[in-house]
Amino acid sequence: MKRLLVAAILAMLSASLSQAQTITDSGYRTVGYISSDGTIQDSGYATIGHIRSDGTIQDRNYKTIGRLKSNGTVQDSGYRTAGHIRKDGTVLDSSYRTIGHVKEDGSVLDSSYRTIGHAKGIPLQWAALYFFFKL
């Protein structure tokens, strides 16, 4: 019975980890994961935050730390504009200055077009939140 329970737990853990997409730095070293449900984990699989389907951004304790509005505006917990994410992947600060780009292939670039990371298979808005907005 215990073996069956352990096998079931391992299967569930394996399935949940296989749904997570890997986030890497510019040297392709793993720095974290984002699951399809918006759970954000560090490289050791510790949950560090959540992006909810309604755009709410939460820390590991489910405290709201920001919002991603449907128009791409990113707000902090006080509803102040922290920046903007355009549909083409351009990331802007609150003064509309370009701070980076997320490309369709998952490449994440700084404002000088240098690669700073990779987020293949992750929605570009989520990748932009991870790399550019430390809410």
Residue that has been written with the tokens 């903007």 in this structure? 84
CA-to-CA dists, residue 11 to 8, 16, 47, 51, 71, angstroms: 5, 9, 19, 25, 38
Neighbour count for residue 117 (Cβ, 10 Å): 23
Coil, strand, or helix at residue 48?
A: strand
**Angle at 60 (CA atoms; ends 54, 65), nearest 5 degrees:** 50
Q: Structure pTM?
A: 0.83
Q: What's the burial of 100, exposed, middle or buried (CB within 10 Å: 0-12/13-18/19+)?
A: buried
pLDDT tens profile 96-112: 999 999 999 999 999 99
Whole-number pLDDT of residue 19: 79
Whole-number pLDDT of residue 125: 96
Q: 53, 38 in Cβ contact below 8 A? A: yes
Whole-number pLDDT of residue 134: 79
User: Of 118, 100, 134, whose CA–CA distance to 31 is shortest?
Assistant: 118
